[in-house]
Amino acid sequence: MENKKLRSSNWFGRQGKDGFIYRAWMKNQGIPGYEFNNKPIIGICNTWSELTPCNAHFRDLAESVKRGVLEAGGFPVEFPVMSLGETLMKPTAMLYRNLASMDVEESIRANPLDGVVLLCGCDKTTPALVMGACSVDIPAIVVSGGPMLTGRYKGNSIGTSDIWRFFSDLRGDLIKEEELLSIEASMCRSPGHCAVMGTASSMACMVESLGLSLPNNASIPAADSRRKVLAQLSGLRIVDMVKEDLKPSDILTRQAFENAIRVNAAIGGSTNFVIHLLAIAGRVGVPLNLNDFDRLSSGIPLIANLQPSGQYFMEDFYYAGGLQVVIKHLEQLLHKACITVNGKTIQQNYADATCYNTDVITTTGNPFNDLTGLAILSGNLCENGAVIKPSAASPHLMQHTGKAVVFDSIEDYHARIDSDDLEVDESSILVLKNVGPKGYPGMPEVGNMSLPKKLIQKGVKDMVRISDGRMSGTGFGTVVLHVSPEAATGNNFAVIRTGDLITLDVPNRLINVALSDEELADRKSKFIPPEPPVSRGYASLYADHVQQAHLGADMDFLRGRSGNKVTRDSH
Ligand code: FES
Ligand code: MG
């Protein structure tokens, strides 16, 4: 260790005026001189914010990380980065994922850091921090905030996925507005992120299956004292990772990505997983495309019985043995030699995993659902693909032809969906345009739009819905998402009209509109691009540079790594 020159020595190990300046200001925090003597400087990258309720307990968690770093002889420095709260941010937290990733990347590179602990929780905070850290490529370990305890209402377990049901019931006059006030006070009753296998939990499972966190990171509830233990152990471990120079690029091989895709299928993970994993792969330069998701997840049955695809909650998942058990049960299908942050292989980490509840986690021989987690569709409606989650869809709609009812914007949808005059029945296909990355901008989670009130009252529970937007990882239904290229680009999806006949055929992975190439070409030649929704600032930069969904919706100028080179001096 003593012999190895740390990255941070380019600041704190300097002589003369520069070294004086680097150290003198840090000393206003009461730091003794010996701390600057070639100790690994560990950044704790914190997305704490009271505006991100899922991450509001992170100051506490950071303290546990610091204890571990100190114990291992490192020098912890906590720093804030932009936090992304899924519930409050308009027009969608997704618009800011790339911005937060840039904040993380530049904060790490510009500062005297040798390693970094990433505190991630609410949906977008995980991919943003991982993307940023991968772009710099210094040793990094993820500590997730953990899921909330299961919500409890009138003796029943409730969680985020139930919101769609509550509001469908309200639209059908099955429950009263007053009751919702009691429900909203019962659902989020502890620190942590959404308690189902939504996007946040899928992201926590993603980092664990990629090998970027210690085992058990995905499932320990935020309120469980073992979450703090994990944080402390992660702080302890990152110091050794610096000594070993174990970097994200050593862990994030093509095989690690393949493992993550298979695990996500087996847990019924979020459709947003596709977009975020593609973006991460783009940063580390691992070739990955949409078809990899279909090919690698086909034949992988659902073995975690968690909402929204199943019945249980993340708390149950942890008590049943957590992601370790899923990984062990998939062992034959995974690349066993992939290295993880603790220096062991994924197989070594999970060799002793035990299942304590077979209602929650089962085996591949006896799955909860034979349908794979995600299917990638192609056809003339989406030249670059689209995504559907069969395990959250209705079996009777998996092969379906119906007439399109087209909405040109989310405002158009809200204005007309409940109108008595809207010509729609349960065989219709609802199409929502201009909710893609450029068109919105930011690709909001509106793809699982509610059904027309008059059909809900008739007892209709599901219809085929298609959009260029996303869906909450907690959502469900026969919902085709991420249509690429999006409507705003003027490609085929842009020119679909009400009355066109659309065929969805999930077993054959097809989605087509019954229009000839000539008709499509003719309509496209008359396409008038919509006014750009924004004209200045970050949103405008985003709209100009964001890539389409099938490339992960990252900025074109952020693909690849810039590395951890120490740049020029500041004064
Ligand atoms: Fe933060 Fe669901 S709102 S994880
Ligand atoms: Mg979400």
C-alpha to C-alpha distance for 110 and 103, rounded to whole angstroms: 10
200 lines ligand 1 (CB under 6 A): yes
CB contact set of 236 (below 8 Å; sequence gap of 6+):
68, 69, 71, 72
Handedness of CA 22, 24, 28, 34 (dihedral sign): positive
Q: For ligand 1, atom 3, which residue shows the shortest CA distance?
A: 86
Question: Any idea of the CA torsion for 44, 50, 52, 58, to the nearest 10 degrees?
Answer: 30
What residues make up the domain containing 439? 375-535+541-545
Yes or no: say if 193 and 151 are a contact pair by the CB < 8 Å rule: no
Look at the block and give the residue holding tokens 């670059």.
Answer: 384
Residues 399 and 297 in one domain: no
Look at residue 523 and tell me if it is in a domain: yes
- Is the bond into 76 cis (omega within 30 degrees of 0)? no
Look at residue 356 and tell me if it is in a domain: no
445 lines ligand 1 (CB under 6 A): no
Of the candidates 317, 335, 350, which is a domain's last residue? 350
Of the candidates 315, 350, 385, which is a domain's last residue? 350
Residues 528 and 409 in one domain: yes
Best residue among 52, 54, 187, 270 to mutate for probing ligand 1's pocket (most ligand atoms within 8 Å of CB) is 54
- Ligand 1 centroid–CA 571 distance in Å is 42
Residues 394 and 330 in one domain: no
Task: Note the pLDDT of residue 4.
Answer: 76
Look at residue 101 and tell me if it is in a domain: yes
The CATH number given to whatever domain includes residue 332 is 3.40.50.360
Residues 279 and 398 in one domain: no
Residues 346 and 379 in one domain: no
Q: Which residues surround ligand 2, an ion (CB under 5 A)?
A: 86, 123, 199, 472
Residues 456 and 325 in one domain: no
Q: Three-state SS across 350-417?
A: HCCCCCCCCCCECCCCCCCECCCCCEEEEECCEEEEEEECHHHCCHHHCEEEEEEEEECCHHHHHHHC
- Partner residues linked to 14 by β-bridges: none
Q: 134: closest CA among 232, 211, 201, 62?
A: 211
First to last CA, the chain: 30
Residues 339 and 390 in one domain: no
The CATH number given to whatever domain includes residue 462 is 3.50.30.80
- Partner residues linked to 429 by β-bridges: 404, 464
Per-residue pLDDT in tens (0 to 9) along the chain, 571 residues: 445 789 999 999 999 999 999 999 999 999 999 999 999 999 999 999 999 999 999 999 999 999 999 999 999 999 999 999 999 999 999 999 999 999 999 999 999 999 999 999 999 999 999 999 999 999 999 999 999 999 999 999 999 888 888 887 887 788 889 999 999 999 999 999 999 999 999 999 999 999 999 999 999 999 999 999 999 999 999 999 999 999 999 999 999 999 999 999 999 999 999 999 999 999 999 999 999 999 999 889 999 999 988 999 999 999 999 999 999 999 999 999 999 999 999 999 999 999 999 999 999 999 998 876 789 999 999 999 999 998 889 999 999 999 999 999 999 999 999 999 999 999 999 999 999 999 999 999 999 999 999 998 899 999 999 999 999 888 889 999 999 999 999 999 999 999 999 999 999 999 999 999 999 999 999 999 888 888 899 999 999 999 999 999 999 999 999 999 999 888 8
Look at residue 226 and tell me if it is in a domain: yes
Yes or no: say if 202 and 165 are a contact pair by the CB < 8 Å rule: no
Best residue among 52, 86, 149 to mutate for probing ligand 1's pocket (most ligand atoms within 8 Å of CB) is 86
**Number of folded domains that form the chain:** 2
**pLDDT 10s digits, 352-367:** 999 999 999 999 999 9
C-alpha to C-alpha distance for 323 and 304, rounded to whole angstroms: 9
Residues 345 and 379 in one domain: no
Residues 471 and 511 in one domain: yes
Residues in the chain: 571
Look at residue 298 and tell me if it is in a domain: yes
The predicted complex's ipTM stands at 0.92
pTM value surpassing 0.90: yes
What is the H or E stretch that residue 172 is in?
A: none
Residues 313 and 422 in one domain: no
Of the ligands numbered here, which is closest to the C-alpha atom of 444?
Answer: 2
Look at residue 79 and tell me if it is in a domain: yes
